[in-house]
Amino acid sequence: MPSPIGHALAGAAVVWTADALDRRQSGPALLATAAVLAAAPDLDLLVPRFHRTATHSLMAVLLVFMIAAAVTGRVTRWRIASICAAAYASHLLLDWLGADQFVPAGIQLLWPFEPQFFISGWDVFEQTERRHLFVKATIHQNLHAVAREVVIVAPVAAALWLVRVKALSRFSSKVARGHHAAK
Ligand SMILES: [Zn+2]
């Protein structure tokens, strides 16, 4: 399963995708929130018995959507709630794509309705070790896993960022042209 670094990058990529799609520029606060939300499901590591269960489910994604909608102002409510939920959901996607040596492998996507764990088996991302963090073998394993995550996720995130920049600049020049025409 990926590290918080890979997850946070994916969260940022979600915001840039939304910006490119609806030609709106999200601020740094939303970017930071999405990055944190994308890494947040692993807070369940504090209670190892529950790791990859409730917080790694579609129910949790729905909960994030509802909470974000409740605390956000009316004008941007659905946009921000959707971005927050999608950022959170990106964690589930990355975990599903990653390797998992712990049995049962994968995430309990349909908690609390189905006890089944889901995983793609593609091992796109390497296993990260969250125990004995300062042992040499752990450091080596995690550095390797993080390097692989960055190599895979960073180009995708960078491409989305570029698409966003292009979409926003095209949109603003269109607005400017419209402004001139109106005059
Ligand atoms: Zn996870």
Identify the H or E element spanning 138. Answer: helix 136-182
Name the pTM for this structure. Answer: 0.92
5-30, pLDDT tens digit by residue?
Answer: 999 999 999 999 999 999 999 999 99
Cα 15 to averaged position of ligand 1 atoms, centre (Å): 20
Q: What is the mean pLDDT of residues 92-101?
A: 96
DSSP type of residue 98: B
**Angle, helices 58-71/77-97, rounded to nearest 10 degrees:** 160
Mean pLDDT of 31-56: 95
User: φ and ψ at 125, to 5 degrees?
Assistant: -110, 145
Q: How far does residue 141's CA lie from ligand 1's centre (Å)? A: 17
**Predicted local distance difference test score (pLDDT) of residue 176:** 83
Distance of CA 92 from the midpoint of ligand 1 (Å): 7
Nearest to 14 by CA among 85, 87, 68: 87
Taking residues 133-153, what's their average pLDDT?
Answer: 94
pLDDT of residue 149: 94
Cα separation, 117 vs 97, whole angstroms: 13
Secondary structure (3-state) at 60: helix
- The neighbouring-strand residues paired with 125 are 98
The pLDDT of residue 154 is above 60: yes
Integer Cα distance of 158 and 143 in angstroms: 21
Task: Write out the two tokens for 140.
Answer: 């080596």
Confidence of residue 76 (pLDDT cuts 50, 70, 90): confident
Number of H helices, E strands in the chain: 5, 0
Q: For the residues 62-72, what does the mean pLDDT come to?
A: 96
What is the band of 181 on the pLDDT scale with cuts at 50, 70, 90? low
pLDDT greater than 90 at residue 111: yes
CA 179 to ligand 1 centroid distance, Å: 47
Place of tokens 């995690």: 142
Neighbours of ion ligand 1 (CB under 5 A): 41-42, 95
Confidence of residue 131 (pLDDT cuts 50, 70, 90): confident
Measured distance CA(145)–CA(125) in Å, rounded: 7
Is 167 in contact with 19 (CB distance < 8 Å)? Answer: yes
